[in-house]
Structure 1
Amino acid sequence: MVKSLEKQKKWIPKRFGFLLLPNFSLIAFSSAIEPLRMANWVSGEELYETVLISHDGEAVASSFGVQTLVNCSLANLPMLDAVFVCGASPIARTGNEAVIGWLRRQGIGPMGMGGIGTGSYILACAGLLKNTRATIHWWDLASLREEFPSTHVTNNLYEIDKNRYTCSGGTAAMDMMLFLIGKEHGMDLAASVSEQFVCERIRTSEDPQRIPLKARIGASQPKLIEAVTLMEMNIEEPLSTDDLAHHVGLSRRHLERLFKKHLQTVPSKHYLELRLEHARQLLRQSDKTILQIGLACGFTSASYFSTAYRNHYGLTPREERKREIDDPAAHSPLYQGDSVLMR
């Protein structure tokens, strides 16, 4: 257990409600509530209470058909610090009028409002994300931007803007909850909870969702998708643009035109960015030497790796690693401001 929490201190637990909509994502829901349970267990304190809610107080079926019992209905809620809407997968665009009306009425008060996965869409429908940074699963990013232009929609894993919490669903719900745990009770506890779930690192709100290329450009460009897939499979020994073109059955000029039209770049630059992104992950998450990482990412010399990395990220690989060692939260918004719910 984490020793930094004073055993004699009695915390007033935060009470988080989870409003389950029919066909909610079971993995996103579990990823949200389990860190809170584990924070209580690791700390030896009751830091969080969870309340499961449905519109009418009846059990709710997940997208997989698992029936989940709840504690109460919207009509008999206890006092909550925040309520998180666990949205349907896929989005249910009708049938949530009563829930939306309830959220709209609650939105004028101090209670925090969160959207997990497509729950962000329900919050937006209730007018609770106007002039607010928010996110949603990559599948629904475009539609959220189109339907709610006053919401600043990002493709990040999660967003916290004042007392509005949104995440992209799936395991990103765990990262968001770990953020809130760390903000309230310190990074030591958040890290211990993360370790219990064999989570190799706590991702920050600045981490973007990995949006599949096929979703970004559609399925009408199979040759381009094939070329990028080849790049991702050949990081350590990069292929030349001519080799890529040969493997996908196009001329070099044709391949370059596809990259320019759909990705606004050239093949060599996109390839370099993929390799640098992989290098950054290794610098942050592995204990390999900088030279080993450079070689693993297709850089033939340490100087070439360092120069390319600095030109792209604004600091050298050595500086990146030093920052990670000196302050693991340096690239995290965890301690930047107080834009989280306070009791």
Structure 2
Amino acid sequence: MPPLKPAPNPGPDAVRRFVFVLMKNFTLLSFAGAVDALRLANRQLGYRAYDWRVVGEGGVATRCSAGTVVNLDGDLDELRHDDTVILCGGIDVGTATTQKLVSWLRRETRRGVRVGALCTATHALAKAGLLDGKRATIHWENHDAFLEDFPDVDLAKSIFVIDGKTMTTAGGTSSIDLMLAIIARDHGQDVANSVADQQIYTSIRTDRDNQRLSVPTRIGVRHPKLATVIQRMETTIEEPVSPSLLAEEVGLSTRQLERLFRRYLNRSPKRYYMELRLARARNLLMQTEMNVINVALACGFTSPSHFSKCYRAQYGTTPYRERGSHEAAEGDPDDGTAAHLPMDDDLDDF
């Protein structure tokens, strides 16, 4: 590839600079997808329209969640007022959101920089108070925990969100969609399409696309009434709906609904619902500081001992031990039973 020519209209806005902040255990895919879209935009345009730096705490190197070490261009230093900061998050984002990072974000945004977040880094922007009253998105796995921690943020489930001078994405390849949207706005849709073509990216998504697969695709079942019931279950975790009412809502008898679940999912509706609620509970335990009692209530359990019994049967440990030793002072209501999954008759927290 020949060296890039200067911008045809040189000036302070001729080259747009992105500053990627790699947080500890960041997701490599999101970062790489975003940077490569900018590289390819330069290639398609034939001049350097975009530039970027890669920084992080310490300014030397950082490790992504896959174990690869990435060298940094610098530390969290003062930026130009026209820079765009893109935080790159990954696993254990709470630990990676240090006070130094939060203070730096607040200072730089006061100076006028635009800010964005890839994957779980939305958490860091919210921690810095930069998303209060704004729309944002985050990876679906972190959605429930984020809602508990930051109720003042209008959280969406879309691929990416742009709200004023803030941008957030859901993680994975959604960083490509965000960059393609920026490239299209800056240089036209034809350039963005050419970049996508180079990346073998055949379906450009917008901020109106949902980040999760549809229920039928996700569970591998195309039965419309079963999919509707499962979607209803997923949206009523805190206040579970009885199987008889779920069946009535889609025009089935309870026995017919039972047969559908047995045929397609090899479990009863109560069992499937319980597994959804326990999965939500595990996310909250691992990603928030909610106490175990409140996690139980948020997932539709009115009895802490029943919650602990079901949790232990599903995951081989109790909620208190899952949370860690710092919760031990609360006591563990588990009675040592539940060496096997509870029978369906026990799944009656509706």
Alignment of 1:133-282 (within 5 A): 133-210=135-212, 229-231=220-222, 246=259, 248-249=261-262
Alpha-carbon distance between aligned partners in 1 of 2:90 and 2:140, rounded to the nearest angstrom: 15
Deviation for aligned residue 1:80: 4.8
Specify whether residues 195 and 107 from structure 1 end up closer, same or farther in structure 2 by C-alpha distance, changes over 3 A only: same
Deviation for aligned residue 1:65: 1.1
The reply to whether residue 49 of structure 1 matches residue 57 of structure 2 is: no
Alpha-carbon distance between aligned partners in 1 of 2:269 and 2:56, rounded to the nearest angstrom: 52
Deviation for aligned residue 1:123: 0.4
Of 48, 51, 65, 2:67 maps to 65
> Any conservation in 1 of the 2:139–2:171 contact (CA below 8 Å)?
yes
Local SS of the residue matching 1:73: coil
The amino acid across from 1:192 in the alignment is: S
Specify whether residues 64 and 212 from structure 1 end up closer, same or farther in structure 2 by C-alpha distance, changes over 3 A only: farther
Specify whether residues 32 and 122 from structure 1 end up closer, same or farther in structure 2 by C-alpha distance, changes over 3 A only: same
Specify whether residues 247 and 23 from structure 1 end up closer, same or farther in structure 2 by C-alpha distance, changes over 3 A only: same
The amino acid across from 2:62 in the alignment is: V
Deviation for aligned residue 1:84: 0.6
Specify whether residues 199 and 56 from structure 1 end up closer, same or farther in structure 2 by C-alpha distance, changes over 3 A only: same
Specify whether residues 228 and 62 from structure 1 end up closer, same or farther in structure 2 by C-alpha distance, changes over 3 A only: closer
Alpha-carbon distance between aligned partners in 1 of 2:78 and 2:110, rounded to the nearest angstrom: 19
Q: What are the ranges of 5 or more consecutive residues in structure 1 without an aligned counterpart?
A: 2-6, 214-224, 234-239, 264-343
Local SS of the residue matching 1:72: coil
What is the TM-score normalised by the length of structure 2?
A: 0.61
Local SS of the residue matching 2:146: helix
Alpha-carbon distance between aligned partners in 2 of 1:169 and 1:14, rounded to the nearest angstrom: 23
The amino acid across from 2:262 in the alignment is: G
The amino acid across from 2:150 in the alignment is: F
> Any conservation in 2 of the 1:227–1:248 contact (CA below 8 Å)?
no
Deviation for aligned residue 1:109: 2.6
> Any conservation in 2 of the 1:35–1:177 contact (CA below 8 Å)?
yes
Alpha-carbon distance between aligned partners in 2 of 1:227 and 1:258, rounded to the nearest angstrom: 18
User: What is the Cα-based RMSD across aligned positions, in Å?
Assistant: 3.6
Deviation for aligned residue 1:232: 7.0
Q: What are the ranges of 5 or more consecutive residues in structure 2 without an aligned counterpart?
A: 2-6, 225-250, 277-350
The amino acid across from 2:122 in the alignment is: S
> Any conservation in 2 of the 1:230–1:244 contact (CA below 8 Å)?
no
Alpha-carbon distance between aligned partners in 2 of 1:67 and 1:258, rounded to the nearest angstrom: 43
Query: Residue in 2 aligned with 1:113?
Result: 115
Give CA deviations for 1:187-228 in whole Å, capped at 9, x if unaligned: 010000000011112100000111686xxxxxxxxxxx9995
Of 114, 125, 128, 2:127 maps to 125
> Any conservation in 1 of the 2:23–2:96 contact (CA below 8 Å)?
no
Deviation for aligned residue 1:50: 0.6
Local SS of the residue matching 1:166: strand
After the TM superposition, which segments of 4 or more aligned residues of structure 1 sit over 2 Å from their partners? 7-11, 75-80, 90-95, 225-230, 240-250, 254-263
The amino acid across from 1:143 in the alignment is: A
Deviation for aligned residue 1:93: 3.5
Specify whether residues 172 and 103 from structure 1 end up closer, same or farther in structure 2 by C-alpha distance, changes over 3 A only: same
Give CA deviations for 1:240-285 in whole Å, capped at 9, x if unaligned: 98998546437xxx9899999999xxxxxxxxxxxxxxxxxxxxxx
Alpha-carbon distance between aligned partners in 2 of 1:26 and 1:246, rounded to the nearest angstrom: 43
Give CA deviations for 1:142-178 in whole Å, capped at 9, x if unaligned: 1111111111000100000000000011100000000
Local SS of the residue matching 1:194: helix
Of 26, 29, 36, 1:27 maps to 29
Deviation for aligned residue 1:106: 1.6
The amino acid across from 1:154 in the alignment is: A
> Any conservation in 2 of the 1:138–1:211 contact (CA below 8 Å)?
no
The amino acid across from 1:84 in the alignment is: I
Count of aligned pairs: 240
Alpha-carbon distance between aligned partners in 2 of 1:178 and 1:94, rounded to the nearest angstrom: 28
Deviation for aligned residue 1:45: 1.2
> Any conservation in 2 of the 1:182–1:190 contact (CA below 8 Å)?
yes
The amino acid across from 1:157 in the alignment is: I
Specify whether residues 212 and 42 from structure 1 end up closer, same or farther in structure 2 by C-alpha distance, changes over 3 A only: same
Give CA deviations for 1:286-340 in whole Å, capped at 9, x if unaligned: xxxxxxxxxxxxxxxxxxxxxxxxxxxxxxxxxxxxxxxxxxxxxxxxxxxxxxx
What is the TM-score normalised by the length of structure 1?
A: 0.62
Query: Residue in 2 aligned with 1:97?
Result: 99
Alpha-carbon distance between aligned partners in 1 of 2:70 and 2:82, rounded to the nearest angstrom: 20
Alpha-carbon distance between aligned partners in 1 of 2:218 and 2:112, rounded to the nearest angstrom: 50
